Every structure is written in C-alpha cells, then in structure tokens.
Structure 1
Amino acid sequence: MAAGDEHQRRILTQIAPVSWEHPADRAALNALRRIPGFDLALRKIFGLFGERALRLAFKANAVRTSEKQYAWVHARLARVCEVLDLEERPECYISQTPVVNAGAVGFGKPFIVLNSSMLEVLSEDEVEAVLGHEVGHILSGHVFYRTLLILIRYLVLFRYPLAGLALIPIHVALMEWYRKSELSSDRAGVLAVQNPQVTMSALMQLAGGMRGVTLDLDEFIAQSDEYRAGGDLLDAVYKVLNVLGQTHPFAVIRVAELRDWIESGEYDRILAGEYQHRDENDDRPYREDLREAAKGYQDGARELFDEVDAAVDRLRDRLTGAFRGRAED
C-alpha cells in the first residue's frame, strides 16, 4: 500500500466489473451492441481518426505523470489499480484546462486525462476517487464507446453537419448509455478508496467547488434529498428536459444513486468478498439486466408522473381557493 492511507483497504482480487455495474448501464450497452452494424459503423468512425492521433495530442500538450511528474497522482493511481486489480496501469496525463473534469480515452491502450483545475479544487483523496472512477470505466470496457462518442460530438457533429445528421440516432443512443455508465463508475470510485464520503465529496466539488472554499457534504446530501423530493409541475418537467443534453447525470442524482447502492448492502457485500470473479461465467442473462433497467426507468417515470399529478392537484386547489375567495368578496 502507498504511504499516507488512513485505513487498510481490501484488495478486490480478480473482481469482475459486473459486480459494480449499474443494471441500466449493462442493459443499455448490451442493447447498443445488438444493433446490426453498430460496432462496424463506430469502428469506421474510429478509422478516420485513430488512437495514435489522440495519444500524440496529449503527449504534445499535457504532462504525463510519473515518479518525477505529479508523483502523488502517479502513486494514487498505482494504489487504485492495486485495489481494483488492474494489472497494467494506464498512462495518466494532466492537461491545462479550467473545467474541473477528467476522462478515460483511447482504444487498444486507454489512458486517463485529469484537467489541471481538478488538482486545484479537489483534495488528494478526492482525486484518488476520481482515478478509481476512470479505472472503473477502463475495466468495464466503456472507453471504446466513450471515445467514439467524443469523436462524434466534437469532430463529426460540429465540423461535418451533414454527416452529423446521419449519426444523430447513434449519438442519442450513446448519450443515454453514457449517462448510465457514470453511475457504474461512481461505484468503482467508492470501491477504490473504500470511503463513500470521499467519493460523494468529490462529486460535490465537481458540481460547484472552487479553490479556497470549504463545502459541507451534509448540506449537499440534503440538497440531493430536496431535489429528489420534487416540486411543482414545472420542476417535474424540467428535471426530464434538463438532462437530455448532458453527458453526465447531475451530481445530486449521482450522490443519491450512490447512497441507494450503499444502503442496499451491495457495497458491504463486495468488501466482504462476495463478488463475481473475472474467471467466472456471467450467468446473469441479458434479459434480467433489461428487466432491472426497465424497472428503474418505470420507477423513475412513475415517480415523475406522481410528481406531475400532485403538482396539478396543488395547482387546482390554489385556483379553486382563489375563485372561492373572489366569490366570497
């Protein structure tokens, strides 16, 4: 273990990514892979650009971590790979970027990119949780599709609009899966640091942290509960519309999803050694994943409709009260 850790972490030997993956993530990705010609179309897009160009861009305009460059990031990544049992440590680059964010990109040999602003805003423990999140993407096989989505968004949709029109259905499908993949990798981040508070604090910082400002996690969790509790009719509609153009679920939603997963007991069971290993066949059928994902969507839709129904009732009561007041006058 690297020095400076405040508790002994369990090494999750040969843990299979399915152990932490969100069922909606697995179902969405499986559905994408079953579209005839989907992988072929994406690989043709990749062929236009290639991994070499991506890697050279970061080698030319970013700093690769090592024992001499950002040594603490290098050491934290080594520990994350040890805990999640990733044998070949990916390269990690620090890019001079003001947006607090990170990503895992590439095809044959994925690598991690941390924006420099993240190192200014997050603590070292929170950065380690982010590294765990990105390693989770790599282990789950997300990176190929995530990288192609980036290429579609920034190189095709914006630079070649006519080609972009043909790719809109693929873009929309990938965006929906992309958001669900974040929920899976948030869980990997928790397992990497084995301190849920650190991961949730990192999400809070990503939502609105800045250098020199101290934020309160309990207050942010309360905000998450308030968001989930709903509001009036417009609030319910905006919750759906606001996320459509987003690559990531809202931070308050991610915190709430993590809390649900932890409270379900899955997190503790994994730390106790009750998880699927990579050499075991995944006997969980695709249909079961689809049922779980569908149930999640149905529950979300039912919750939205309940919120809308309650908001309409409140609006009707207010209008009725107003009319009665006028009639009495």
Structure 2
Amino acid sequence: MAATEDSQRRILKQIAPISWEHPADRAALNALRRIPGFDLVLRKIFALFGERALRLAFKANAVRTSEKQYAWVHARLARVCEVLDLEKPPECYISQTPIVNAGAVGFGEPFIVLNSSMLEVLSEEEVEAVLGHEVGHILSGHVFYRTLLLLIFKLVLVRYTLAGLALGPILMALWEWYRKSELSSDRAGLLAVQNPRVTMSALMQLAGGTRGVDLDLDEFIAQSDEYREGGDLLDSVYKILNVLGQTHPFAVMRVAELRDWIEGGEYERILSGEYQRRGEKDDHPYREDLKEAMTGYQEGAREIFDEVDAAVDRLRGRISETFRGRKER
C-alpha cells in the first residue's frame, strides 16, 4: 500500500467509529453497556473525583501542548482530529516518563497523555499515528471504561487483596476487552495518517525503539509473520499465557492484525468513502458483532486444535521411529 501524501489525505466526514472497530471489541463493549444502569451509576460515582483528580495531576506535573508549547504536536493533533472529524481536539499533555507510551484518560472530557520518551524515539509522523490511535479511543467511547478499569486496578487490587481475588475473573475479562480495543484504535491511527508503513513503524518503535537507532520495518514484519505462523502446540499455549498479564497485545500481533485488515479491503473501502456515518442506523447490530467475535475465537480455537492434532501425529511418529530403532538393535 503506497503512502498517502498529506495534501491527498482524505477527510473522513462524519465517520462513525463502528467503521474501524474490531468486532470482538464492539461485542465486549456493547455487553458492558447493556447492563442496566451500568454507565449512569459509574459515571456519577467516578466523575465526582476521578477526572478532576486526573486532570489536576497532569496540569500540575506535565506540559500541556499549545501553539507555544510543543507546537508541532499541537498541530498534528489538530490534523488528526480534522481527518477523523472530531470537532474539538482534546487537551494533550507531555509527561516526563522514560517508558515509550501514550494514553487517553478521563470521563466527561477525555485528554491525551504522551510520555516524553516517545517524542525522543518516534518520528513526528509516527507520533501523529499514535495521536490518531488515542483519538480513536476517544471517539469509540473506550476512554471511560479504560480509565475505570485502571482506577479499579489501583484502588481495589493494590489496597484490598481479597477483593482483588474476588474480582479476578471479571478483571481478566475486562483486560481482554482492553487489549481488543487496542486493535480497533490501531485502525483509527492508520486512518488518521493514511500511511500503513508509518503506522506499523510506530508500533515497531513502541516495541523496541531506541533513540538514534534505525530499525528495519520489513524485518519487523517478517518477525510478525514468524510469530503468528510458527511454533507448535506448546508455543500456542505460551502465547496465550504470555498475553494474559499484558495491557496491550504484542506489537508483532498488532502489526499482523493491521495487515489483515488492510489486505481484507476494509481500509481501502473507507478511504473511498464507503463507511457508516454518525447518526445513521446501525447496520451492524450487536448480535452480528458477537457472531463475528465468536467466529474469530472459534477460528483461533480451531487452529489450536489443528496444531494439537499435528503435534500428536508428530509425537506418534517419533515414538514409532524410536520403537523401530530399538527393535533393529
């Protein structure tokens, strides 16, 4: 896929977030929203102290971008919001942190936080892709639930261990949704910059970029293919276990998911103007989202079963060879 020049970047007027959202993300989030009173009660409780405390913390200990502070970040955020048709750009803060990362937090008026180390490692174009990713979280309505999850994790698990054990299964389910929401927002980041290589390069830098070191994107894509396609049954088990404690999917898998979405044709269709507009009737209902998500999980499970079958065949073959070798002796 060729890069899109800034002058040719398509403005996606009135694009509905459902256009880029991963089906597993939509299904899980819709399930949360359908709990009677869930949104209303939690918003009232946490809006009393959560967002105000968070915003004050960053106003006190971070630099807010503007035309005078980190002007290039401010300008690129404005361009991202123009492309994704977000009328009022969110506030953006730069926080002095050595971990290369970013986030969108808040309830009523979410804001974006970029860690300072990200500005040292990523190019300006890659930072713009990250800004598009975070704006995608805001437009999809992820930020409320993600902030809520982080607050629960800090307030409950850290202070009340027994409560944390009781909530363990629920939190694991929420973390799984949290990871799926990253896949949705990776797509939003791509739509914002409309340059697949820049978006995938940003993910590569987040995985292991270092200031002053040039990385090879094609080599990272090959690594992504190797991780996705290689390994035996035990490797598949390890892949599942490894991700359980992570807040984000592994970068190599995010690159693979993004490439699948591009190769499936949906990215090009959106750029050509074929996408759902805000306010239009949802032509992709919750049950269909759930069906798509379940299909994806079933396909994943089927792959594991196929690997189990192949592993058993290989084991049977090795046992037979060993047995024959002993008889020949």
Taking structure 1 as the reference length, what is the TM-score of the superposition?
0.94
Match of 1:67 in 2: 67
Instruction: Report the CA distance between 1:35 and its aligned residue.
Output: 3.5
- Following superposition of structure 1 onto structure 2, how do residues 34-49 of structure 1 map, counting pairs within 5 Å? 34-36=34-36, 38-39=38-39, 42-43=42-43, 46=46, 49=49
Asked whether 1:16 is paired with 2:23, we answer no
Any gaps of 5 or more consecutive residues in structure 2?
A: none
Alpha-carbon distance, 1:172 to partner: 1.9
Q: CA offset at residue 320 of structure 1?
A: 2.6
Instruction: Return the alpha-carbon distance in structure 2 between the equivalents of residues 23 and 148 of structure 1.
Output: 22
The one-letter amino acid paired with 1:191 is: L
Give the match for residue 32 of structure 2.
32
**Residues 25-75 of structure 1: CA distance to partner in whole angstroms, max 9, x if unpaired?**
101111122345543664476257421000001111111111111111111
1:173 and 1:232, CA in 2 relative to 1: closer, same or farther beyond 3 A?
closer
SS at match of 1:114: strand
Is the contact between residue 25 and residue 184 of structure 2 (CA under 8 Å) also seen in structure 1?
A: yes
Give the equivalent residue in structure 1 for 2:136: 136
Equivalent residue runs for 1:222-301 within 5 Å: 222-301=222-301
Question: Which amino acid is 1:66 matched to?
Answer: S
2:152 equivalent to 1:159: no
Residue aligning to 1:125: 125
User: For the residues of structure 2 that align with 1:128 and 1:175, how far apart are their CA atoms?
Assistant: 26
Aligned-pair Cα RMSD in Å: 1.7
For 2:136 and 2:268, locate their aligned partners in 1 and report how far apart those are by CA, in whole Å: 18
Q: Hey, what does 1:220 align to over in structure 2? A: 220
Q: Which residue of structure 2 lines up, in the alignment, with residue 317 of structure 1?
A: 317
Partners of 1:286 and 1:140 in 2: CA distance: 15
Deviations for 1:191-228, whole angstroms, at most 9, x for unmatched residues?
Answer: 00000111011111111111111111111111111111
Q: Distance in 2 between matches of 1:13 and 1:27?
A: 25
Q: 1:219 to 1:149 in 2, by over 3 A?
A: same
Secondary structure in structure 2 of the residue aligned to 1:113: strand
Residue identity over aligned pairs, in percent, reads 85
Which segments of 5 or more consecutive residues in structure 1 lack a partner in the other structure? none
* Partner Cα separation in structure 2 for residue 18 and residue 237 of structure 1: 32
* Structure-1 separation of matches of 2:262 and 2:81: 22
Tell me how far 1:82 sits from its aligned partner.
0.5
For 1:133 and 1:320, locate their aligned partners in 2 and report how far apart those are by CA, in whole Å: 53
- Give the match's secondary structure for 2:104: strand
Is the Cα contact below 8 Å between 1:27 and 1:290 reproduced in 2? yes
Match of 1:178 in 2: 178
**Residue 233 of structure 2 contacts residue 304 of structure 2 at CA under 8 Å; is this kept in 1?**
no
- CA distance in structure 1 between the aligned counterparts of 2:298 and 2:68, rounded to whole angstroms: 51
List structure 1 segments (4+ residues) > 4 angstroms apart after TM superposition. Answer: none
| Matched positions, count | 325
